Structure 1
Amino acid sequence: MDGVPPAPSPAGLSVYVAVSQLLGLTVLATTGAWLGRYRGGVGWHSPLQFNAHPLCMVLGMVFLQGDALLVYRVFRHEAKRSTKALHALLHGLALLIALVGIIAVFESHRDKGIPHMYSLHSWCGMAAFVLYLLQRFLQ
């Protein structure tokens, strides 16, 4: 099957990819601007540590994960080994950045005396992260 050329790209794929990248970067920039302007910025080991959470989640679980999913469509004429490596790299970065976001929340809650996992948002988010993590090990 390696000798068979890939099927042509679907019509308009480059437009869809460009729009998805533009929307992803817009959401990332908007989140960063919101944190900077209205939440005081982002810091580590400071009262601003919690603010790393939304930025890391948008970057990791939305933008980089989305890009990892698009790799096989966008680079369909490249070597399979290269696309697999890029796909794995983007998923790994997404996982690492999301983990930093989760650590930021837990440390921030610990420092402020706020209980962990007290909302539906936290339970759904943790379930999404654990399921994303399990995919990596159950392949």
Structure 2
Amino acid sequence: MESRAGLAATPGALPYYVAFSQLLGLTVVAMTGAWLGLYRGGIAWEGALQFNVHPLCMVIGLIFLQGDALLVYRVFRNEAKRTTKVLHGLLHVFAFIIALVGVVAVFDYHRKKGYADLYSLHSWCGILVCILFFVQGQVQ
């Protein structure tokens, strides 16, 4: 038990883990952008490319920024708690706003094309994730 407590108090490898997670996260964002740009025609808010805004916003908001918000307490453990909480909250707010833009893009695209909304398991799970993301912020 004592060795685990000592390990938690002095995370020597933590900077490497954080650097690896940031590199991995940025790689996923870049790969999603490259996939949308090279194989899906790019992104745009108007027209047929509006749907492509959705996957990019979901990856940036719900994977990259939310992951960074969770890491804040470990990375900035020696900073003032208030500063850490503010940064944690701001990252969550930005993640929610970007994810909301992605959801709005899909609903707007479906409305313009005359497609039905919420017709797949993917869409219902996505709405549930957005609701739970918002609710967990209200509970804290």
TM-score bin, normalised by smaller chain = over 0.9
Number of the residue aligned with 2:41: 40
Shift of 1:37: 0.6
Number of equivalenced pairs: 133
Number of the residue aligned with 2:111: 110
The letter of the residue matching 1:97 is I
TM-score (norm 1): 0.92
* Alignment partners' CA distance in 2, 1:57 and 1:18: 22
* Alignment partners' CA distance in 2, 1:136 and 1:127: 14
The letter of the residue matching 1:101 is G
TM-score (norm 2): 0.92
Is the 1:28–1:55 Cα contact (8 Å) retained in structure 2? yes
Q: Which blocks of at least 5 consecutive residues in structure 1 are unaligned?
A: 1-6
Q: Percent identity?
A: 65
Alignment partner of 1:48: what SS? helix
Matches within 5 A, 1:1-139: 8-139=9-140
Shift of 1:11: 3.2
Shift of 1:46: 1.5
Q: Which blocks of at least 5 consecutive residues in structure 2 are unaligned?
A: 1-7
* Alignment partners' CA distance in 1, 2:116 and 2:106: 11
Over aligned residues, Cα RMSD in angstroms? Answer: 1.0
Question: Once the two structures are superposed, what CA deviation does each residue of 1:76-112 show, in whole Å capped at 9, x if it has no partner?
Answer: 0001010000000000000000000000000001111
